[in-house]
Amino acid sequence: MKRIITYGTYDLLHWGHIRLLKRAKELGDYLIVVLSTDEFNAIKGKKSYHNYQERKMMLEAIRYVDLVVPEYRWEQKKEDIIKYQADVFVMGDDWAGRFDELSEIVEVRYLPRTEGISTTKIKNDLEK
């Protein structure tokens, strides 16, 4: 079984998220989403509209997602890759190059984001 692991906040879930998760799942058999906790978001200077439990529930309802686990800190990626026996680490291409050091233990892939949609764009559009 080929295991894929990806990370994110997944706030204001939108079709770009779904498309990214679908493409990630197509790379293997089992997709693990490591979801930023509310506390970790605060460390990153982010505030989600939905709390962790709500975001987790929404991700678990997506057919491409097999497992959702919490992300508490930046440094846990290597531990997660080993713990969950991931074969491929996937992130959006806006993170390109930021996690290349993980290629020593896992295949690292950066997938293109869906143009025209993002959580930031949604938030900005709603403020108008």
Q: Catalytic positions, please? A: 44, 46
Among 113, 112, 105, which Cα is nearest to 89's? Answer: 105
Residues 6+ apart with CB under 8 A from 48: 9, 11, 38, 41, 55
Task: Return d(Cα 73, Cα 69) in angstroms, integer.
Answer: 13
Are 11 and 55 a contacting pair, CB within 8 Å? Answer: yes
